[in-house]
Amino acid sequence: MARHALQPGSVIDGFTTGERVHRGGMATLWQVSRPDLAGPLLMKIPRISEGDDPAAIVSFEMEQMIVPRLSGPHVPACFATGDFATQPYVVIEQIPGQTLYQRLPELPLPYDEAVAIACKVAVALADLHAQHVIHHDIKPSSVMFRDSGEAVLIDYGLSHHAQLPDLLQEEFRLPFGTAPYMAPERLLGVRDDPRSDLFSFGALLYFFTTGERPLGETETLRGMRRRLWRDVHPPRKLRADYPPWLQEIVLRCLEIEPAQRYPTAAQLAFDLGHPFEVTLTARADKLTRDPWRTVWHRRFNRGAGLPQPRTDAAANLAAAPIVMVALDVGESAAELNEALRVATARLLSTLPAARLACVNVLKLGRLTIDRTLDEHDNNKHVDRLVQLRHWASRLGLEEARLTSHVIEAIDPAAAVLEFAEVNRVDHIIIGARQQSLRRQLLGSVSAKVAAEARCSVTVVRPKRAGE
């Protein structure tokens, strides 16, 4: 292989190299430019000289396969790749700013700031998983932020793509990753479960809110294997003021068994964005780790230590969507709401891991000053929340799968669409009333939602008399 001796001013496939900005254990980064491409660019080149880790080559092959297939604001744009026959490289956009690694001297961060960061990272993970990719190296140095606010996940050399060969799995037996953030199942050779990223996310959020790593700095494989049976110290043991709802989220992410974590990053992001809707369990109040009896049972339970069954990541995402039902709680909507309940129950019966968000829009006047109390001096917002929960009670869902939301807005359709977009809703169920002259002239809320939503929409109509 005829490789280039890189230095500032070298030209590779039309790219002119500038300053070398980073030299890592597996690759180097160079600033590059090309006349037909605007904006700052980076060229990533693997370290493949004598004595370098052979895993660097395989890792770079994975990155070359995966990065060009990614899109969206949460990943760096890819512009070109180079062949190993001449000079292997990947050219990506250079994201301005620094990674979360630079924030480590400030830890622990204030809770509100850490949660705001975590929300953005969870949304980025949800987007990545929707593109069939598991990152497998979520840590502070893998997270950046655009000027527009979105989190960007970088470094895909250890990633798994559900539709591509997993060269790391095929060629190596030891797990690759960053020890303080590595999920337990990774030690068993499991690389196809997106919930591994949620464990790493939990370790990151724990670290940023307590200032301590939940799993320590263990680097030996023997030491790391303890996480297969030993849980972490609850954050409230380290900080007495730690919010119970936040501990609930963190410890759920850090569950040893993947099945006990959030089913998807989208559902995790939903809880982070709605802290007062988080269902609290025994996790929220824990002050100590699990008793030794539980630990020994995990360690010596028959079958422990064996690789878990392979997980279809796409099927897992499809089985655990966020479903939103938009309701009108007025008395005149009773018949329609019953039809909505039937449609919602039918859908949820096929999706045992789905999350349901019941939403009502409290319409505001464009020119008037709206009163918070109705004619009976009841708070409109609270009254509607009660009605939403009453409507949902007959569905028989566990608390952890159900939330209720009253949105105050001038435009109901726009409010429904915005809620669905911000909360990464997968399916909207909305009712449509019978046609009227006003709806024919102005258009209905359900029609606008069905036309403009970026997710699937089911429009439900009540049965007419005689049907």
Of 369 and 240, which is predicted with more confidence? 240
Distance between CA atoms of 426 and 350, rounded to whole angstroms?
A: 15
Of 54 and 184, which is predicted with more confidence? 184
Q: Is the dihedral of CA 146, 152, 156, 158 positive or negative?
A: positive
Please say whether the beta carbons of 248 and 281 come within 8 A.
yes
| pLDDT classification of 432: cutoffs 50, 70, 90 | confident
Please say whether the beta carbons of 274 and 248 come within 8 A.
no
| pLDDT classification of 141: cutoffs 50, 70, 90 | very high
DSSP string of 401-457, one letter each residue = GEEEEEEEES-HHHHHHHHHHHTT-SEEEEE-PPP-HHHHHH--HHHHHHHH-SSEE
Distance between CA atoms of 360 and 385, rounded to whole angstroms?
A: 8
62-65 long-range contacts, CB within 8 A, separation 24+: 62/156, 62/157, 62/158, 62/159, 62/161, 62/166, 62/167, 62/168, 63/90, 63/155, 63/156, 63/157, 63/159, 64/88, 64/90, 65/161, 65/164
Tell me: pLDDT of 258 over 80. yes
Pairing assessment for the beta strands 402-409 and 355-363 based on DSSP bridges? parallel
User: How many C-beta neighbours within 10 Å does residue 374 have?
Assistant: 10
Tell me: pLDDT of 465 over 90. no
Nearest of 199, 291, 215 to residue 249 by alpha carbon = 199
Tell me: pLDDT of 333 over 90. no
Q: pLDDT at position 27, please? A: 82
Distances (CA, A) of 223 to 158, 219, 229, 246: 21, 7, 12, 28
Distance between CA atoms of 191 and 307, rounded to whole angstroms?
A: 10
Pairing assessment for the beta strands 11-12 and 15-23 based on DSSP bridges? antiparallel
| pLDDT classification of 441: cutoffs 50, 70, 90 | very low
Average pLDDT over residues 187-194: 92
- What six digits make up the tokens of 357? 């968000």
Q: pLDDT at position 304, please? A: 46
Tell me: pLDDT of 221 over 80. no
Average pLDDT over residues 68-77: 96
**284-317 pLDDT, tens digit each:** 999 999 998 888 888 887 444 445 555 566 677 7
**348-400 pLDDT, tens digit each:** 999 888 999 999 998 876 555 455 555 555 677 788 888 998 999 999 998 88
Q: pLDDT at position 173, please? A: 66
Tell me: pLDDT of 450 over 50. yes
Amino acid at 451: A
Instruction: Report the percentage of the chain scoring pLDDT > 90.
Output: 60
Tell me: pLDDT of 227 over 60. yes
Q: Over the chain, what is the mean pLDDT? A: 87
- What six digits make up the tokens of 359? 């939403």
Please say whether the beta carbons of 202 and 210 come within 8 A.
no
Distance between CA atoms of 306 and 125, rounded to whole angstroms?
A: 27
Please say whether the beta carbons of 256 and 199 come within 8 A.
no
Q: pLDDT at position 2, please? A: 46
Tell me: pLDDT of 204 over 50. yes
Q: pLDDT at position 137, please? A: 96
Q: pLDDT at position 382, please? A: 82
| pLDDT classification of 437: cutoffs 50, 70, 90 | very low
* Element spanning 94, H or E: none
| pLDDT classification of 464: cutoffs 50, 70, 90 | low
What are the chain's domains? 11-93 (3.30.200.20), 100-316 (1.10.510.10), 321-460 (3.40.50.620)
Placement of tokens 């709206």 in the chain: 370
Please say whether the beta carbons of 74 and 143 come within 8 A.
no
Tell me: pLDDT of 100 over 50. yes
| pLDDT classification of 1: cutoffs 50, 70, 90 | very low
Lowest mean pLDDT among 63-67, 77-81, 309-313: 309-313
Average pLDDT over residues 101-110: 97
Distance between CA atoms of 461 and 430, rounded to whole angstroms?
A: 9
